[in-house]
Amino acid sequence: MYQTKKSRVISLLAGTAAIVFASTAAQAETIRVVLGYYSAATQGLFEGMAKDFMEKHPGDEVKIEVIQWDNLQQRLTTDIAGGTEPDIAMIGTRWLVDYVKNDIAEPMDLTPEFKASFIESFLSPSTFDGTMYGLPVAASARAMYYNKDLLAKAGVNEPPTNWDGVVDTARKIKALGTDAYGFALQGKEIETDAYWYYSLWTHGGELIKDGKSGVASPEAIKALTLYKSMIDEGLTEPDPSGLNRQDIERLFKQGRIGMILTGPWLRGQIKADAPTLNYALSPIPEGTTKATYGVTDTLMVFKSSKQKELAMKFLTETAFSPKWRIEFSTKEGFLPVMKEEAAAPVFADDPQLKAFTDMLPYARFAPPVANWEQMVDAVIAAVQKVYIGQAQPEAALKEAAATIDGLIQQ
Amino acid sequence: MGVGGAVHRAKTPSNGKIGRASAPYLLILPSILFAFWIIGYPIYDMANMSVHAVNRFGKTAAFNDFANYQRLFSHQLFIGCLIRTLVWTVFVVGGTVLLSVPIALILNEKFFGRTLARIIIMLPWAVSLTMTGIVWRWSLNGQFGMVNATLANFGLQDTPVEWLATSTTAFPILIAIGILVSIPFTVTVILGGLSSLQADVFEAAKIDGASGWQRFRYLTLPLIRPFLNIVLVLNFIYVFNSFPLIWVMTQGDPANSTDILVTWLYKLAFRYGELGIASALSIVMFLILLALTIVYAALAMRNERSTA
């Protein structure tokens, strides 16, 4: 008893000493990295990178902190307001514009060779006026997953490539009279807007055109009318505004959805939760054009950091080395962002992943405008009003466009 | 110190009197100042922020002629959220008190298993609001939820109902759950009031031929009135500012139709980075609550005085 107490006291003292020592002696060589939580693997991956880096740079220290994505923006906001921001942070690339506008993100001075090692389309979302402010860390595109067995039962052997085909296939699935639904439609919470952008973009619409909102354009109205008519015809699950992304993905995993539009992460979930599900991937259905939603997250360096050089070294030498990139993207289930990574056998030889990478040339990104989150909620409110039958597509979208135009002018 | 004080008092009696009268105040002065600082500083800071231009990272700039308030009052969602907040608060607080009084009366009677019944009523209190919200969110899920499964098992339902998909079902459900979680606290306070009542008064009334309803209406109710007042004011404040239930269950969806001021406030501050409008809204909510509480306290006091 006494022994444990004594050793506890000693370890406490040692701990205190370590803290005091660390905060005085190591101040010049410690960088703090705040990251968003993707999966249980995130912490381990970055701890591994930190260990690698510290071995190469003895005396320097990299501290990793992983935070839930839901709280990340709030946490960084409070940190910045209080002057306790880390040296490096992972952020949603669409937040970057606010960081640049408020002079919080450090411009990145990169060698042309290093820049050239990335797949080019992933660099543009973090480039403002020709200057890069962040490196794409996680990339995803969206594709259509379809239930092969369900489609075959309905007499459809090839997945539909356009919206007419989707409607047609969904009708056949409905005619089976089972508890399965033809087309999944997400109606609430995060990325409800994105689920509608697939339709908007493939119908030829734009989110922002000539500095004005494009969500009330004829293409946009057509895109939303299509979804509404599918709800009314019973081709989607009933009352979509009650289902978020996880809900429709769960239905797909249960074999109760014919077609669903979502990202690469669902592959991993199916492997774990529904290994017998017979599914395949195909591109997002076309309207008048091809499109998909490209999303990247970004690692950025804070202007206020006292160890910018070391922070940049951590990114360029370790975090964005091919070894760690491949490790990260395969473990987290993201698409490769660097050329060497994409050429690696794990990615190049995966036919399912090809469905996503083939779509990359058509990928659209969230426009780099301020007040993006508020615009998203205006769009979500508009599509929800239409899904629950509270407003007509044109009226709801016009209201959203007016709100967005107001936000652009702000 | 005691001895020193005594000697001092003995020497200068007049000074000692003042010293003795003010000593308690002097002694609690540091605590009072500290409390004022703890409570007052955030209010001051918030008020200060609400009249300045603020960026999304909380850096305040110039005074901006109450532009934050102007933008708040002219915002298309403000009036809707305000009305819903009042509906939400009135229904939850009203429903809670209406249900809690009979529950407390029953629990105050002596019957077999009363302790168990009291524990069951109090138990939900031990569960955090967030947990309650998550459990209900799962139960009400249209495709996988327990509520629909039960209804379907009893043959009461052919197609699944998405309870949280429209505000016509979602908002009443939120109010009902709001009532459910407010009952334990309210019952506890009323029960405390009931157990302080003197039995002989009721016996005398019974002998004089007062009916059960008359005893409740003219004895119990006036006697537990102070407790009801406390419960009303505290519940009003809690429910008005209640964030977790609505946030967990609907996030104000669909199309802001279940948003109340506090959930909208959270979106403004932490999702949209509109700290200026958000701080203005905080001040408005603070003033609404302050005004209502003062008016209610004044009314309650006047009532008490007139009945006394």
* B283 has a pLDDT exceeding 50: yes
**For A1-55, where are the E strands, in sequence order?**
30-36
Please determine, for residue A69, whether its predicted confidence score (pLDDT) is greater than 70.
yes
Those of residues 235-254 in B touching chain A at CB distance below 8 A are 251, 253-254
- Is the peptide bond preceding residue A275 cis, with omega within 30 degrees of 0? no
Q: In 3D, which of A367, A376, A379, A353 has the Cα closest to residue A141?
A: A353
Per-residue pLDDT, averaged over A199-213, amounts to 92
- B275: pLDDT strictly greater than 50: yes
Count contacts between A and B (CB, < 8 Å): 90
Q: Out of B76, B166, B267, name the one closest to residue A241 (CB).
A: B166
Q: Is the dihedral of CA A231, A232, A235, A237 positive or negative?
A: positive
Give strand ranges (E) for chain B.
Answer: 52-54, 60-63
Q: Could you please report the per-residue DSSP string of A90-115?
A: EEEGGGHHHHHHTT-BPPB---HHHH
Residues of chain A with CATH 3.40.190.10: 2-140+295-364, 143-293+369-409
**For residues B297-303, average pLDDT:** 78
Give me the pLDDT at residue A226, please: 95
pLDDT class of A334 with cuts at 50, 70, 90 = confident
Report the distance separating Cα B22 and Cα A192, nearest Å: 64
**Does pLDDT of B27 surpass 80?**
yes
Q: Which of A74, A189, A385 minimises the CB distance to B251?
A: A189
**Is some CB atom of chain A closer than 8 A to the CB atom of B218?**
no
Q: Please state, in angstroms and rounded to a whole number, the distance separating the CA atoms of residues A99 and B59.
A: 13
Q: A169-191, pLDDT tens digit by residue?
A: 999 999 999 989 999 999 998 88
The pLDDT of residue A372 is 87
> What pLDDT band is residue A352 in, cutting at 50, 70 and 90?
confident
Q: Which residues contact A353 (CB under 8 A, 6 or more apart)?
A: A264, A335, A347
Q: For chain B, which residues make up each domain, given as ranges? A: 1-34, 75-273
Q: A143-293+369-409: CATH homologous superfamily?
A: Periplasmic binding protein-like II (3.40.190.10)
Q: What pLDDT does A52 receive?
A: 92
Please determine, for residue A350, whether its predicted confidence score (pLDDT) is greater than 50: yes
pLDDT in tens, B185-220: 999 999 999 988 888 888 888 888 888 888 888 888
Give me the pLDDT at residue A198, please: 95
Interchain CB distance below 8 Å, A239 and B166: yes
B75-273 domain in CATH 3.90.1150.10? no
Strand partners, A88: A33, A301
Q: Residue A267, Cα to own-chain centre: how many angstroms?
A: 15
Is residue A18 predicted with pLDDT exceeding 60?
Answer: no
**Of A241, A251, A403, which has the smallest distance from its Cβ to B143's Cβ?**
A251
pLDDT given for residue B6 in this prediction: 44
Segment A387-400, tens digit of pLDDT: 999 999 999 999 99
Percent over 70 (pLDDT), chain A: 93
Please report, as a single letter, which amino acid is at residue B37.
W
C-alpha–C-alpha distance, residues B112 and A287, integer Å? 71
Nearest to A200 by CA among A225, A177, A179, A175: A225
> Would you state the pLDDT for residue A221?
96
Secondary structure class of B207 (helix, strand, coil): helix
CA distance B31 to chain A (A): 27
Q: Smallest Cβ distance to B58: which of A77, A187, A380?
A: A77
Q: Is the pLDDT of residue A8 over 80?
A: no
Amino acid (one-letter) located at A222: K
Q: What value does the mean pLDDT of chain B take?
A: 86
What's the DSSP call for residue A118?
Answer: B
How sure is the predictor about B19, in pLDDT bands with cuts at 50, 70 and 90?
Answer: low
Task: Give the count of beta carbons closer than 10 Å to the beta carbon of residue A119.
Answer: 17
Residues 14-53 of B with CB under 8 A from A: none
Tell me the mean pLDDT in the region B98-114. 90
Residues in A touching B55 (Cβ below 8 Å)? 102
Helix axes B129-139, B167-195, angle to 10 degrees: 140
pLDDT greater than 60 at residue A25: no
B1 pLDDT more than 60: no
* Chain B residues with CB-CB distance to A251 below 8 A: 143
> In chain A, what residues touch B254 (CB-CB under 8 Å)?
187-188, 241, 381, 384-385, 387-388
Q: Which of A64-68, A338-342, B297-301 has the highest mean pLDDT?
A: A64-68
Predicted local confidence at residue A20, as pLDDT: 46
Could you please state the CATH topology (level 3) that the domain comprising A2-140+295-364 is classified under: D-Maltodextrin-Binding Protein; domain 2 (3.40.190)
Q: If you average pLDDT over every residue of chain A, what do you get?
A: 88
pLDDT of residue A261: 95
Pseudo-torsion of CA B173, B178, B183, B184, nearest 10°?
A: 120
Exposure string over A281-304, b if 16+ CB within 10 A, otherwise e: bbbbbbbeebbbbbbbbbbbbbbe
In terms of DSSP bridges, do strands A30-36 and A88-92 run parallel, antiparallel, or are they unpaired?
A: parallel
pLDDT band at B9 (very low <50, low <70, confident <90, very high): very low
Given this model, what pLDDT does residue A4 score?
45
Between positions 105 and 164 of A, the ones with CB within 8 A of B are none
Across residues A70-89, what is the average pLDDT?
Answer: 88
pLDDT in tens, B85-102: 999 999 999 999 999 999
Residue type, A286: E
Chain B 48-67, residues with CB within 8 Å of chain A CB atoms? 55-59
Confidence of residue B15 (pLDDT cuts 50, 70, 90): low
**Inter-chain contact A238–B141, Cβ cutoff 8 Å?**
no
Shortest Cα–Cα distance, A370 to chain B (Å): 10
pLDDT tens figures, B127-142: 889 999 999 999 998 8
Report the complex ipTM.
Answer: 0.82
Are A387 and A187 within 8 A, CB to CB?
A: yes
Q: Which B-chain residues 91-120 have CB contacts (< 8 A) with chain A?
A: none
Residues of chain A in contact with residue B251, where contact means CB-CB under 8 angstroms, are 188-189
Instruction: Tell whether A239 lies on the interface with B, counting CB pairs under 8 A.
Output: yes
Q: In the structure, what pLDDT confidence band is assigned to residue B7 with cuts at 50, 70 and 90? A: very low
Q: Cβ of A377 and B255 within 8 Å?
A: no
Residue B104 has pLDDT above 60, yes or no: yes
CB within 8 Å: B57 and A374 = no
Q: How confident is the model at residue B121 (pLDDT cuts 50, 70, 90)?
A: confident
Nearest to A81 among B59, B143, B254 (CB): B59
pLDDT at B16: 54
What pLDDT, on the 0 to 100 scale, is given for residue A45? 93
Is A410 part of the contact surface with chain B (CB cutoff 8 Å)?
no
The residue type at A305: S
